[in-house]
Each structure stands twice: as C-alpha cells, then as structure tokens.
C-alpha cells in the first residue's frame, strides 16, 4: 500500500461523508477536500457537479494566465455574448447538416463571406468548408493539389509511380502541419532556405526547386515565427511564366493561417489572394485573427476545377445526402456559430478597427523594445501584429534570451526564446504575437517588467546560462 493509498477515503467513509454534505455546505467544508482527482482509473463513486467543477477549475488555474501568453496566435478572448452563444450550441454536430440545416446555412454563409474577403470570382464556382483549424485545412489544400497533379501528370505521360516522388515547395519557415502532410502522403518536402535578407520565400530561389513532379508551391501569410508574408505576387508571376511551357502547370496554396484575416483589413490593396491567377486554394485559422476560440479553420478553392471530385464524399446520413470534404467528421458546430457571430457583430469596419488597434499595440512594443538599445529587430509588425528580436552581438551581456525568457515567466509572461530555422539556427530570437486582448496598458506593463528583468540579469551572476540551454532547444515549427 502506498502512502497515497493510505490517505484514500474508503467507499463506505465517502458515502457517510457524502450523506452529511448538503448543497448548503461550503465546497471546502464538504467531503470534496478528501476526494482524489482520478489519474489513471475512474473513481468508484460519483461526486456533486459543483465539487467536480471547482476541483478541476482549481487544478487548471495553476497553468497560467492565457492573456499573458504572448507566444500563441490562438484567440484568448471572446465577448460574453459570443461565449454564451457558443455554449448554447455545443451540442450541435457540424457534420449533421440534415438535422441542423440552419447551422449548415451559417457555415455556408461564413464560406461565402470569406470567399468575398479573398476576392473569389463566383463565376468560377469557388468552394470551401470549415475545418478544425489550419492544419486540417492545409492537409486538404495539399491533397487537392496532389490529386490534381496525379491526374494532369498521367495525362502528360509522366510516370507518377516512378521512384521520383511528387514534391511540394515551401520555405524553411514552414509550420509543422506541412511536414505532417508530406510525411503522411509520402511527398518530398523541398525546403527553400531563408537568409537574413530574405526572411520569407524568395520566388527566384523557389523556382529552382520546381519541376514536373511539383504538386504545388505553398506560400505563407505570414511565416509562423516572424509573421512576415511570403511574396505571393512574385511567386504567381514566376509560375505564370513557368506554366507557359510546363508539362504540368504548378499552382499556389496560400497558408494564410494568421494573415488571412489581417491582410484584407490592414492591406486591402495587397494582392495575395484569388486576384492572382495561380492561387488555387487558401487556408486560414478562424481561431487566430478570425477572432474565435479554438478550433476552427477554413479552406477555399478558387473554382470547381481546383477541388477534384475525388475529394468530395457524398454521405447518406439521417435522411439526407451531404457533401463532406473535410478529413474530420463529427465535431461541435459551436465554433462555426462563433465565427458567424464575430462576422455579424464586427462587420468589415469592426474587424478593421480591432486589427488596427492590435497593430498599434505591436508597434508600441516594437518602439519600447528598440529603445532598450540591446536588441536587433527581425520583424517590426510590418504586416501582422508580430515582432521578433535577437540580442545584439555587441550587446556585451553575460545573459541570453533564454535567461530573459525565464525571468519574464516570473511575471506570468510567456515569450519563449528559440533558434531560427535551418541555416540561421545560430541566431536566437524572442517573438511576441499581439492579439486583440493585449491592451496598451498590458503592453506597458510588459515593457516595464522586461526592463526590470534586464536590470536584474545585469546585476546577477548568471550561472550555467546560454550554452547549456541552447543545446536543448531546436527551432519549433509548431509556432503555436
Ligand atoms: C503558417 C501556419 N500554418 C498552419 C498553422 C497551424 O494552425 P492550426 O493551429 O490552426 O492548425 C499555423 C499555426 O501557428 C501557422 O502559423
């Protein structure tokens, strides 16, 4: 018997204690104080809902304040009305369009609204769907490209079963979902290196990787670790030229996980979307700058031709014929309802105002961090509200960004330090992703805390710093 077992309350004791507990008993005066939270095996007996809720809430409350997590792109605030609406619709199954036709209608409206934001031409019959997030949406974009390539390559007499695998061209700043896609479907991932002068996909360089076995070029809006946009227009022009003589034309999938809901509002004249002829599919995360809690994503194909029939499944379910083109099947429709709420609530101008304010906060942080005089800025929220910096080589500090990362956590801030991707991994960066719930006041508090911790680090003798930490860290393609 372990010490832990010795402390456990027996079923008899528990039922006696439960019997004495009434709804009027304060939670921590009740038997709850002695109930173990199950770890590997169900407890024998049920407990009151209020007690289960309180215990789990307490347990979760130890993991930090989401608003201070400055490394995540994912929404950490929605209005109470939205939260209520989403809670009220949790039981609706998004896939069950026959039982929930009005919910399905809201999904179709969201798809149409996004098509409009991204300048899809209705004459080309664009199609789209919601997904769990960008990862699923990217998988679908990649799969459509693979299926299109197989059909066209066969027609062009290319041996698609040869040892020469199909490939996908993307910058080395890719998000991990693309590595997953390539591994799951046995695609060669051709990484176009970035350098200090090109912290995004360089179209001329990318073209060196394109051949008859290329299923698509993926451009990113923006790159996970800096927020910089790939040059989609430049890539489109290069492919237009290439496609004039190509055996198999190569198209673009834009992974607009974060930029898909920023560019239309902040830079409406920037051409990155279906205005460009080779952009055949675009994915985004509704739960990033789409302003909805996780998990929701979207993918749109520019035309019927862009989405091969083989990827559409017609499911006979509960009396109806439903088209499903997502990988996932059942999930709650509450995020779709949440997305529609934010669209309806904000309108174009409301979204614009939120994204502009978020950009203002990001620029304020850029200025504050630059004023400290110690950091080289790699990204100054030029396109997305994301900033990224490294410690200047001549800063003359004994500490590293890993040390600063640790110290900031003491104030609740999460601003992880990490090395840049291949060919630049000797540079260590810190990144802040500003979201709508990071106010100017909070940004000022962050700058104050950062300045104080720099002072503390300067004054401290840093034991076992930099080198030991760096050796354990790798560029994290998840980006979060
Ligand atoms: C460029 C990019 N693509 C895809 C993803 C994956 O997004 P999700 O978490 O919505 O699956 C991310 C997440 O950070 C991203 O930055």
128 neighbors 307 (Cβ within 8 angstroms): no
Domain at 84-343: CATH architecture: 3-Layer(aba) Sandwich (3.40)
Residue 129 CB less than 6 A away from ligand 1: no
**Is 70 exceeded by the pLDDT of residue 19?**
no
Highest mean pLDDT among 192-201, 314-323, 469-478: 192-201
Look up residue 6 and give its two tokens. Answer: 């010795």
Ligand 1 nearest atom to the CA of residue 224, by list position: 16
When pLDDT is averaged across residues 291-310 and rounded to a whole number, the result is 97
Predicted structure pTM score: 0.90
Within 13 Å and on the Cβ side, how many CA atoms surround 242? 24
Domain boundaries, the chain: 3-60, 84-343, 358-472
Q: What is the pLDDT of residues 93-109, one digit of tens each?
A: 998 888 898 999 999 99
Residue 283 CB less than 6 A away from ligand 1: no
Q: What is the pLDDT of residues 255-286, one digit of tens each?
A: 999 999 999 999 999 999 999 999 999 999 99
pLDDT of residue 14: 59
The strand pairing partners of 285, in sequence order, are 297
pLDDT of residue 466: 44
pLDDT of residue 468: 40
**Is 90 exceeded by the pLDDT of residue 462?**
no
Neighbours of 159 (CB within 10 A): 10
User: What topology is assigned to 358-472 in CATH?
Assistant: 3.90.1150
Which of residues 328 and 121 earns the better pLDDT score? 121
Mean pLDDT for all residues in the chain: 90
**Is 60 exceeded by the pLDDT of residue 387?**
yes
Residue 32 CB less than 6 A away from ligand 1: no
Neighbours of 380 (CB within 10 A): 19
Residue 75 to residues 52, 84, 215, 378, 415: CA-CA distances in angstroms? 26, 16, 32, 24, 16
DSSP string across 272-316: -STTSTTEEEEEEETTTTT---SS-EEEEESSTTTS-GGG-EEEE
**Is 70 exceeded by the pLDDT of residue 474?**
no
Ligand 1 nearest atom to the CA of residue 74, by list position: 9
- The sign of the dihedral angle between the CA atoms of 171, 176, 178, 184 is positive
Neighbours of 289 (CB within 10 A): 29
Report which of 283, 209, 202 is spatially closest to residue 250, judged by C-alpha positions: 209
When pLDDT is averaged across residues 363-381 and rounded to a whole number, the result is 96
Span from the CA of 256 to the centroid of ligand 1 (angstroms)? 9
Q: What is the pLDDT of residues 331-346, one digit of tens each?
A: 999 999 999 999 999 9
**Is 50 exceeded by the pLDDT of residue 467?**
no
Q: List all residues 6 or more positions away from 283 whose beta carbon is below 8 Å from its beta carbon.
A: 131, 134, 137, 138, 140, 141, 253, 254, 255, 256, 257, 260, 297, 298, 299
Whole-number Å distance between alpha carbons of 287 and 76 = 9
Ligand 1 nearest atom to the CA of residue 138, by list position: 4
């Amino acid at each position: 018997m372990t010490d832990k077992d010795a402390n456990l309350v027996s079923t008899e004791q528990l039922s006696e204690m439960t019997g004495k507990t009434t709804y009027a008993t304060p939670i921590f005066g009740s038997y709850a104080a002695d109930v173990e939270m199950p770890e590997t095996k169900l407890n024998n007996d049920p407990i009151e809902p209020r007690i289960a809720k309180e215990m789990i809430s307490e347990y979760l409350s130890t993991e930090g304040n989401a608003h201070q997590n400055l490394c995540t792109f994912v929404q950490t605030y929605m209005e109470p009305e939205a939260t209520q609406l989403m809670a009220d619709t949790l039981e609706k199954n998004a896939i069950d369009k026959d039982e929930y036709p009005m919910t399905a209608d809201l999904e179709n409206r969201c798809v149409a609204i996004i098509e409009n934001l991204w300048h899809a031409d209705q004459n080309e019959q664009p199609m789209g769907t919601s997904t769990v997030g960008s990862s699923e949406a990217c998988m679908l974009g990649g799969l459509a490209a693979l299926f299109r390539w197989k059909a066209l390559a066969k027609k062009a007499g290319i041996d698609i079963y040869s040892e020469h695998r199909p490939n996908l061209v993307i910058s080395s700043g890719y998000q991990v979902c693309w590595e997953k896609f390539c591994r799951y479907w046995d695609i060669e991932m051709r990484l176009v290196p970035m350098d200090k002068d090109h912290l995004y996909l360089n179209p001329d360089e990318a073209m060196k990787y394109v051949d008859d076995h290329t299923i698509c070029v993926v451009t990113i809006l923006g790159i996970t670790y800096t927020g910089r946009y790939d040059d989609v227009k430049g890539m489109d022009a290069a492919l237009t030229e290439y496609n004039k003589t190509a055996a198999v034309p190569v198209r673009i999938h834009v992974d607009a996980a974060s930029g898909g809901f920023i560019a239309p509002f902040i830079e409406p004249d920037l051409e990155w979307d279906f205005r460009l002829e080779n952009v055949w599919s675009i994915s985004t995360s509704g739960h990033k700058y789409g302003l909805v809690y996780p998990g929701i994503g979207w993918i749109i194909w520019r035309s019927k031709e862009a989405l091969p029939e083989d990827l559409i499944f017609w499911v006979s379910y509960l009396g109806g014929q439903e088209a499903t083109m997502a990988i996932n099947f059942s999930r709650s429709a509450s995020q779709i309802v949440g997305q529609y709420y934010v669209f309806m609530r904000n309108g174009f101008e409301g979204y614009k105002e939120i994204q502009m304010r978020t950009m203002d906060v990001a620029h304020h942080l850029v200025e504050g961090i630059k004023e400290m005089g110690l950091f080289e800025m790699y990204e100054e929220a030029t396109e997305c509200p994301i900033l990224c910096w490294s410690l200047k080589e001549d800063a003359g500090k004994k500490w590293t960004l890993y040390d600063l990362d640790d110290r900031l956590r003491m104030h609740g801030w999460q601003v992880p330090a990490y090395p840049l991707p291949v060919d630049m991994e000797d540079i260590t960066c810190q990144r802040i992703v500003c979201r709508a719930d990071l106010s100017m006041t909070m940004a000022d508090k962050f700058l104050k805390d950062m300045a104080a911790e720099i002072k503390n680090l300067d004054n401290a003798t840093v034991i076992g710093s930099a080198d030991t930490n760096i050796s354990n860290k790798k560029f994290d393609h998840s980006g979060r």
